[in-house]
C-alpha cells in the first residue's frame, strides 16, 4: 500500500469514530472539552491498536495463504466497504450519552473491529505496520474530536452519506489490491 491508500484507509476507518462522536456531541452539555478528549483518545487508541492485532494474526497464518493474499485483501476490503454502505441504510437507535470507562471501552472495541480486519489486509499487502497504525490512530482521534465538536452544528446532516463515502473508499481499495 502506498501513502495515499493508507490515508484513504485511515479516513474510511475514522468515519465510524466520527459518527459515534458526533452523536455523543449532540447529547453532551457539561465538561465538553474533557469528554471530547477522553472520547477521541479512546477511539484513536483502539483504532490504532486493533490493526496491530490483525497484522500479527495475519502474520501467523500468512505462510499458508500468501499465494492468495491479494484476493484475501480484496475480499476483506470489499466486505468492509459493503458493510459500511449497508449499515448506512439501517435504522439506528437513538444514541446514549456515555463516557464511563465500560462504555468507552465498548465503543472503542465496537468501532475498531473493522480496523482489526484492516490490519490483516495491511499484512497481506506486504506493507509495514507502524505508519498505517499511527495514521489510523491519528485520523480516528481527529475525526472523533471533530465529530464531537460539530455535533450541534450539523444536527440535520445525515451520517449515512459519510458511511457510504467510507464504504466506497474501501471498495476502491479492494479493487486496487487485485489490479
Distant-in-sequence, close-in-space partners of 108: CB < 8 Å, separation ≥ 6: 42, 43, 45, 46, 47
Range of the domain at 106: 3-178
User: By CB neighbour count within 10 A (0-12 exposed, 13-18 middle, 19+ buried), where does 142 fall?
Assistant: middle
Alpha-carbon gap, residue 29 to 144, rounded angstroms: 17
Alpha-carbon gap, residue 106 to 24, rounded angstroms: 14
Confidence (pTM): 0.76
Give the alpha-carbon dihedral of 100, 104, 106, 109, to 10 degrees: -170
Alpha-carbon gap, residue 11 to 35, rounded angstroms: 22
How confident is the model at residue 139, as a pLDDT?
A: 96
* 12 touches 46 (CB < 8 A): no
How confident is the model at residue 46, as a pLDDT?
A: 95
Q: What total of structural domains would you count in the chain?
A: 1
Alpha-carbon gap, residue 31 to 36, rounded angstroms: 8
Alpha-carbon gap, residue 34 to 126, rounded angstroms: 39
How confident is the model at residue 154, as a pLDDT?
A: 61
How confident is the model at residue 157, as a pLDDT?
A: 62
Residue-level pLDDT, tens digit, the chain, 179 residues: 899 999 999 999 998 888 778 777 766 667 788 888 999 999 999 999 999 999 999 888 877 777 777 787 788 778 877 887 887 787 765 455 556 787 788 878 878 888 888 999 899 888 999 999 999 999 999 999 998 888 766 655 666 777 787 778 778 877 877 77
Amino acid at each position: 500500500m502506498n501513502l495515499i491508500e493508507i490515508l484513504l484507509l485511515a479516513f474510511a476507518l475514522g468515519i465510524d469514530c466520527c459518527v459515534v462522536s458526533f452523536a455523543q456531541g449532540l447529547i453532551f452539555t457539561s465538561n465538553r472539552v474533557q469528554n471530547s478528549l477522553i472520547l477521541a483518545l479512546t477511539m484513536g487508541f483502539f483504532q490504532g491498536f486493533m490493526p496491530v492485532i490483525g497484522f500479527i494474526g495475519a502474520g501467523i497464518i500468512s505462510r499458508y495463504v500468501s499465494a492468495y493474499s491479494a484476493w484475501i485483501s480484496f475480499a476483506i476490503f470489499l466486505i468492509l466497504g459493503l458493510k459500511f454502505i449497508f449499515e448506512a441504510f439501517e435504522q439506528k437507535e437513538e444514541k446514549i450519552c456515555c463516557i464511563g470507562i465500560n462504555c468507552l471501552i465498548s465503543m472503542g472495541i465496537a468501532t475498531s473491529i473493522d480496523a482489526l480486519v484492516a490490519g490483516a489486509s495491511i499484512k497481506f499487502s506486504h506493507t509495514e505496520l507502524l505508519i498505517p497504525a499511527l495514521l489510523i490512530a491519528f485520523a480516528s482521534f481527529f475525526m472523533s474530536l471533530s465529530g464531537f465538536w460539530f455535533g450541534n452544528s450539523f444536527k440535520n446532516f445525515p451520517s449515512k452519506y459519510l458511511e457510504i463515502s467510507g464504504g466506497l473508499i474501501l471498495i476502491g481499495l479492494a479493487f486496487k489490491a487485485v489490479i
